[in-house]
Chains A and B, each alone.
Chain A
Amino acid sequence: MIHQELALVDDLTVAENIFLGDEPRHGWCIDWTALLTATKEVLERFHFHLDPELKVRQLGIGQKQLVEIARALSKESRILILDEPTAALSNSEVNQLMQILRQLRQCGVACIYISHKLDEVKEIADRITVLRDGETVVTMEAKDASTSDMIHHMVGREISELYPRRISARRDKIVLAVERLSAASRSHQSVRLQNISFSVRAGEVLGIGGLMGAGRSELLMHLYGLWGKRLGGNVSVLGQCYPFPSPRKSLRRGLVLITEDRKRYGLVLDQSVGWNVSLSSLQSITQHGLVSRVEETIRNAPMLDKLGVRKSSYEKAVCELSGGNQQKVVLSRNLLSDPEIVLLDEPTRGIDVASKLEIYDEINQLVAEDKAVVLVSSELPELIGMSDRIVMLHEGRIAGEFDRDQFRQETLMAAATGSELPSHSL
């Protein structure tokens, strides 16, 4: 079983993680040589390029996923269940995984592959089963299934397009300007962002793309004040210079971040939906020093309602909700602080198609209200479908900026991988 959420021990090495609980022994002691050889063998068998002695903490999220997959494969399993295995993988890593799965299929291993990414499902699966609200909707042969069929079964209603169109009304008011920004991680001092410049106007969606580890999340988190130390460059928000960001100041200036890692940065899981939604804006519902429950519900309800969170779940603990609903809670909280600039980091990662649509609608509505949106996504179709302009990052630098008429998957991917396309293909 491979989970969507990572289940690794950060402070142990790759080898220790792969054989956790099943270490080769030498009497009472762990046989380190055997452990390392066995790990090397497993990694090499599936062409994973990982150092078995590296601490998992030092790996990127995509590499961590590989470790988890290697752990499952090392058990000589007959049935492999993969729950959103590619949520954090880059395209080349996905291809590798697909290859491994085909290999396994030939060896007679059965795979259950759970994913929201329909292309992958079509590519790898022999048969496809669509579930909705805990029930089987349909099981079909993969070669007969088209993407739009699948989407149709998943949402239960006809949608003409996955990405709802909007009329893009270009304004000229620049609300977020980043000039030659460089920043380094606080703990390792390694420079992760270099010489980054871009600007965002009110009423537009700026897409930011790039491969895993290109610095997309770091960039957003740095602008919001959650990550890194600034080495140089200027950031201005709504025309004002913003040199020392912190989340508290960002919120006051109308800059909000919907994080990629909502369990870590977005939610207090033990607490209720309403409680989490209110956390950033308690001042406005406080009377005589006490939080007013009436005001709280009256204020939160329309927002949650609009995003499609049921009233019966307001008092449920957030950890009982689905990923999609959790994301809506994070979104509600941030939108309630009435932001001017919304930074979205992988807002649709690991959530169901219906919730995705609601989030796309919300993005369009924000833009219609003249807010600025910065959208980071590892899914190129999503970036292309939702953005007015796209900036591609490659290893912490800007690898290209594209306008709507230049959007093509190949061009963007070339920029993301840092390779030059011959000019005639543009």
Chain B
Amino acid sequence: MNRLRKTISLRNLTMPLVLAVIWVSFSIANHQFLSSRNLSMLMIEMAVTATLAVGMLLVILPGHIDLSAGSGVGMIGGIASVLIFRLGWSAPPSLLASFALAVLLWAGMATLIVQCRVQAFIITLGGLLLFKGCFWLIIQSSTVPVASGGETNLYSLLTTYYFSPSVGLLCLPVIIAGMVLIKLRDRRIRSRAGLHVEDAEISTLKMFIAAQVLFLVVLVCNQYRGVPLAFAILCVVALMVHVLVKHTPIGRYLYAIGGNEEAALACGVPVRQVVVLAFSLMGGIVAITGFMQTAYAGASTTTVGELMELDAIAACVIGGASLKGGRGTVLGTLFGALVMASLLNGMTLLAAAPAIKLITRGLVLVLAVLIDVKLREE
């Protein structure tokens, strides 16, 4: 028991506890909250927030920030909609074109940041206003559907497609087997290298819990329509970013730049290139989020993506990232995004006024970070 207490300290449990409190209160207030239909919706909403948050983590790690993400989400989604609905392109090339445009725009912003040594805060604040203006011009402040007249295309399917229950159940053992194999390999590597190896029982317990959670997720989804495509997209993006930041040289450079930029430079880290790369990836992720968010709304309207950058930043911070850079994990960010998405979903279900939604989200963000800071001090 003592060993267990050492690994699972109170600090690691803060976020799950906060989440549990939120979920329990919402389910008491409205029993619909835990219905499989609402949970499926929540998963799609969370997928959108979390994808953007994971991208945000990429720029927060080296100590930068992206305030233009929300406007970008609206604009890129809007451009794709206009290409399809007004210009009659088919879905795949319009998505691809807007994706490429986003990567270019973000690479451009990053180049300004590193070459002219202007803070990312300023440049992306400019981007926020600029992209929003362009967005409204492009959709002419009207409503542009993602697919013409009740048809479905790749764009609209992003948030309306569900994998059939059998696919979900079939993938489950494959994913769990993969997790176990990776864990075993990691343990073998660590013991061979003479590093501290986690207790076998605790590893098994962790694996068991993770498998249970995955199983539960698939089961709940299958009760409604199956695992949503959006959730699968999130999983792929999150996995890719996780591998990038934890297991590649680029990832280490990101932490190094955020932790101590001068030292990173002195160690021969190509600081500028790495920052530009991080922003370019963020651009790609903004595009993906833009497609999902616009598809979820069904059409591009002037309010799509509004304030999403703040939700993404909040998710990172709740998940333990430092805005000074150098600290933060993908898993933490996913938790943070789940907290923010749950709040929004629950309050919408309770038909809370928009003002109340904003106030609650603000309070929860501040509270969660305060608890985290307090626990870290101990």
Contacts and interface: CB of A to CB of B under 8 A. Distances in A.
Interface of A: 224, 226, 247-248, 250-252, 257, 259, 264-271, 275, 278-280, 282-283, 286, 289-291, 293-294, 296-298, 301, 311, 314-315, 333
A297 B193 contact: yes
Contact of A315 (B196, B252, B263): B196
A265 B263 contact: yes
B266 A293 contact: no
B251 to A, nearest CB: 8
A270 B259 contact: yes
Contacts of A252: 268
Interface of B: 186, 189-190, 192-196, 243, 247-249, 252, 255-256, 259-260, 262-270, 326-327
A59 B173 CA distance: 65
B270 A278 contact: no
B249 A268 contact: no
A278 B327 CA distance: 18
Contact of A265 (B193, B248, B266, B326): B266
A1 B208 CA distance: 52
A271 B259 contact: yes
Given A247-B265, A278-B252, A279-B267, A268 B195 contact: no
A290 B247 contact: yes
A226 B265 contact: yes
A247 B267 CA distance: 7
Q: Which 4 A-B pairs have CB atoms at the shortest separation, nearest pair first?
A: A268-B259, A297-B193, A282-B249, A248-B268
B252 A279 contact: yes
A315 B195 contact: yes
Contacts of B196: 315
Contacts of A269: 259-260
A266 B266 CA distance: 7
Contact of A266 (B193, B247, B263, B269): B263
Contact of B252 (A282, A311, A333): A282
Nearest to A265: B266
Contact of A271 (B186, B190, B243, B255): B255
A290 B243 CA distance: 8
Contact of B262 (A250, A265, A279, A315): A265
A294 B193 contact: yes
B193 A268 contact: no
B272 to A, nearest CB: 11
Contact of B268 (A251, A290, A296): A251
A267 B252 CA distance: 13
Contacts of A270: 259, 326-327
B252 A293 contact: no
A301 B194 contact: yes
A280 B259 contact: no
A268 B189 contact: no
A340 B173 CA distance: 53
Nearest to B266: A265
Given A264-B262, A266-B263, A291-B247, 18 more contacts: A224-B266, A247-B266, A248-B268, A248-B270, A265-B262, A268-B255, A268-B263, A270-B259, A271-B255, A271-B326, A279-B252, A279-B269, A282-B249, A289-B248, A290-B248, A293-B189, A315-B196, A333-B267
B222 to A, nearest CB: 34
A122 B93 CA distance: 80
Contacts of A267: 260, 263
B263 A291 contact: no
A207 B328 CA distance: 43
A271 B186 CA distance: 20
Q: Which of B249, B255, B264 has the largest count of A CB atoms less than 10 A from its CB?
A: B249
Contact of B326 (A226, A268, A283): A268
Nearest to A334: B267
Interface centre among B259, B260, B263 (most CB of A within 10 A): B263
Contacts of B243: 290
Contacts of B269: 248, 279
A373 B196 CA distance: 36
A214 B190 CA distance: 48
A123 B104 CA distance: 66
Nearest to B246: A291
A300 to B, nearest CB: 10
A200 to B, nearest CB: 21
20 contacts: A224-B266, A247-B268, A248-B269, A250-B268, A259-B266, A266-B263, A268-B263, A268-B264, A269-B259, A269-B260, A270-B327, A271-B326, A279-B264, A280-B267, A293-B189, A293-B193, A297-B193, A301-B194, A311-B194, A315-B196
Contact of B249 (A224, A264, A265, A286): A286
Most buried by B among A226, A265, A279, A301: A279
Contacts of A278: 252
A224 B93 CA distance: 48
B194 A268 contact: no
A264 B263 contact: yes
A291 B250 CA distance: 10
Nearest to A292: B189
Contacts of A286: 248-249
B195 A297 contact: yes
A298 B259 contact: no
A30 B259 CA distance: 36
A334 to B, nearest CB: 9
Given A268-B260, A282-B252, A290-B243, A298 B193 contact: yes
Contacts of B263: 264-268
Nearest to B196: A315
A112 to B, nearest CB: 28
Contacts of B267: 247, 279-280, 333
B98 to A, nearest CB: 28
A226 B266 contact: yes
A291 B259 contact: no
A294 B228 CA distance: 38
B252 A275 contact: yes
Contacts of A291: 247-249, 252
A291 B186 CA distance: 13
A301 B194 CA distance: 10
B256 A268 contact: yes
A294 to B, nearest CB: 5
Contacts of B190: 293
Most chain B beta-carbon neighbours within 10 Å: one of A257, A265, A282: A282
Contacts of A250: 268
A250 B268 CA distance: 8
User: Max chain A CB contacts within 10 Å: which of B195, B196, B243, B326?
Assistant: B195
B325 to A, nearest CB: 10
Contacts of A224: 266
A278 B256 CA distance: 11
